Structure 1
């Protein structure tokens, strides 16, 4: 097989769908002394032991060109081939036939082998089944040796694939469950009739009940009013049970049965005895990932969804907080008559800690709590009632949040904060640390508006800027362009650390909490004020001189 074919195969849709354990068709292309060579459309041919193609008599039952079903055991093992199994394919087919025969009440052929305790082993296409001695014939037979090694017809009584447990009945086949017999039986049945039968088989979806030559299906949902996972919780093989006929399909000889219909519908008690808002004591009957099931009445369960268990945790793990059999108090939140569902809550039976906090505290109050966790965006504080409040990073300090060092706070430390907002419905409480103190920067801004003259000390200086400390941690920035009307090349040639300066406030950077300062603007202001003062003085002097001259002139005339 060339590389191009292998590449085509690997890229084909078929190669993507095949998997271990899959049942596929293969063609017999060669038969050797020991093997049959099969082509299943894979990358290479497969060799299957010839003994897998022999019938019970030891004869080879295939020829070149035949199409056979096989199961993929391994895809490309160590030597690069795909291992196939004819025997497993036979078993799959046989099991399918057995299950179908059981469900559709069909006859199946088998080979009676040796006698064992309680009955015989029967070979059905190389799969062993058990024939109980009581089901060998329609009447008791003392000598059964003549049956050994013979082929006979059987009814499948029980078939469990997981345990490889198959029970057959030769008696059932001999009784001749013919169409005439079934027609006679079904003609005597009516809907609503209560009849006795024997549990013949249990499956995941229900139980088959022998009604005396005709099987009826008791679906799992019609066994009990309460929810069950498997019929075996209520029924056992060979149990005698009374059932009610729900429906009859006379053409297909199908009878649907009900066991729970023999008892009163417990849902009627829910409608008459319970209302939304009622608190009731119940027992936990089942636990799932999405909540707790509790038994309200026999046969009626309600669901406590995970979101209704705890006020402070919207998604708890039900398996960690409860056990089946625990007694709990629940509140009825909703009753859906159409869907026959009851929604319950556990947390509603307790005070809502968010409402309690809102009732007992006011915005602006100071509170103390333990640090529960620290994140990049803030600090969570544990409050009374097992609820949390958040101190956002922007509410830790009046300084820029980029400069806040969260490492100074430790988990479990006591911390004081101020309540900024309470949103009980959204289950949110906002807290702040900086609000415990006044904002000195804003206070300074209010008392020293734009245009004010302030004094400060140079804290840091570089080529273009100087950082000025004014008072109470108030900082200002003096840019090189605001030093003088004369050009300055380097701030360090004019100022050094600890120099005292006087400057005019020309702006405020609230984000970085700094003032913009200007010595140049201060000097320009002082010059304008000096000029204005000079002009005013000169005008007053001129006014006085003119008045004196007028008086002198008048006196001369007189």
Structure 2
């Protein structure tokens, strides 16, 4: 519409700034004056107003102590400054934005967990400097270029456990590009999206308006990071963008040839300044076009028109036992019934939301006659879940859920409260497997089909597991080498060895490589499901075959034997094989000795099995050691001979 000024719905004070200003005003009145460390918010007009109310400004916190009341700014403060104020007995009123407080806790927690905090934002911004002070070795990156430079410094940087957060006013594109690089390159990363929802909405709304207008005006203090970001975002879509601090900076030249102008404001801009700029812009455009529309008419046009199904964001203004009243910037009074706030019948509204909270809802009913609108947060959350599910199909996103039931043909997985049917063929289990064993298990899946009207969702676990297995196989084959060690799981067993999964690829451990001891079957030393430490003996990439070993090759069994025994020593041995000429016995794992048939008993025997059996433990005397040929002679008879001689003498 010619001559229109489109006013952004979210322009002006955000919840955190409004809260900080209200706390400062209240504290100044109640305490008869107080202090702020630097500017409470990035707006010179508001700071001057606060100073007139008795909120004095200082840049030297070390001069404050007992008897002084200090209001901590919305951006937060350096931890050492807060600790110093507390130590000196100053009374602190914490006006730090709750979103910033949450990030401070995440940064401090990362250090407690042995992780390094990564902060994406402007390094010299007060908020970022304050966040960085909550841990010992923070990493602050202004964007993806800084991230790439840090990763290029040292290969070992990729293995450092990281916790990634963002400045509340960070441009989302910068944050997402940065964390995507970190997630791809680093091995142990936790990512928290800490960009303020109000900031994101303000930026998105500004971009949308800028694409529709001839001139875009952004109001805010020049020191304000979020105002600067709004200006940068608008400049991508609008050819003429002007950043001003108040109406005095507007010029008629701004609006030459302008038919539609846009107006938004940073989070630290008071409503009074926005209204003054709005009125001035309207008058300038009217003057340019000969229009005589009043400011009141234009302002009324800026009010929202509510329709059933609209998503609206508002501020909680009052709470009763049965409902929550919300200001959504419309002519109608808006409220949320308790039943539309939560599913919990025992919950109290004041335990869920608080006055001045920002809340996102959907309009469920509009009564223009009586002038009210009914809202629902519960239904909006349900809508968002369905939208996320539908988007997941398009993006092929991997989602996580819990198996809640088995039914005919497959299983049911709960994903964010939505029931997803997974056919048996897509469960990732072998044909005919007992799917009920999966109930209560956490699984990852891809949604393959969605019909919101029929509330039908179909997914596949197999596609995720196969993709993960394929990636793991590629990783194994790209890095495998002889001698490399892996921790594997026994998948199956045969008479001649076991097959071990070393991370998506199976290798075979021959029975002779399972143990230094002589064994008949692999089941003597392991079973399916056991974890084994294995190493690569040989591999063939073309045939996709890998030979693995378990025996510790750093140990020489013969050396172990020689260090432990000498000729004449008595040893307890295990019979491992019977031959016609005698029996072989294991002295230490990997070293056998021979008991000749003539040394098995103190009498003549026809065959060794008349006296011995495989697996039997007997005591023997070591009668000879051939170190060159690594052969050992053993004798049972040598231990029996003295007793036989005594019996002969008595007779």
Shared fold, TM over 0.5:
no
Task: Name which one, 1 or 2, has greater alpha-carbon Rg.
Answer: 1
Per residue, is there more helix in 1 or in 2? 2
Per residue, is there more strand in 1 or in 2? 1
Does 1 or 2 have the higher relative contact order (CA < 8 Å, sep 6+)? 2
User: TM-score scaled to structure 1, two decimals?
Assistant: 0.31
